[in-house]
Amino acid sequence: SMKPRCLHLEKGPQGFGFLLREEKGLDGRPGQFLWEVDPGLPAKKAGMQAGDRLVAVAGESVEGLGHEETVSRIQGQGSCVSLTVVDPEADRETSV
């Protein structure tokens, strides 16, 4: 079961401090993934982990959106943004 986490980021002088990249998820569908989370910058402090899949921006789902559209949703939030992410490892966890 995937447990979404909500991250509240406030942009610093160097930005939010992460890279957004489109790639295929474990389910074979394209998604937007968070990488290169810079230590000491807002994304890392908010609890972002490299490999998290972005599922919503400001509470609105971005599933199925293309890369540019997703980026513009994030940028449209200005200096404060809330991102809902899922740890892809959760996709592979099974309680036994």
pLDDT tens digits along 33-67: 999 999 999 999 999 999 999 999 999 999 999 99
Residue 57 inside a domain? The answer is yes
Q: Give the CATH number of the domain where residue 73 resides.
A: 2.30.42.10
Place of tokens 């980021």: 9
- CB atoms < 10 A from the CB of 91, how many? 13
Residue 94 inside a domain? The answer is no
Residue 26 inside a domain? The answer is yes
Residue 95 inside a domain? The answer is no
Residue 75 inside a domain? The answer is yes
* Structural domain count of the chain: 1
Instruction: Look up the domain containing 53 and give its range.
Output: 5-89
pTM: 0.86
Please report the pLDDT score of residue 32 as a whole number: 96
Half-sphere exposure (Cβ direction) of 92: Cα atoms closer than 13 Å? 6
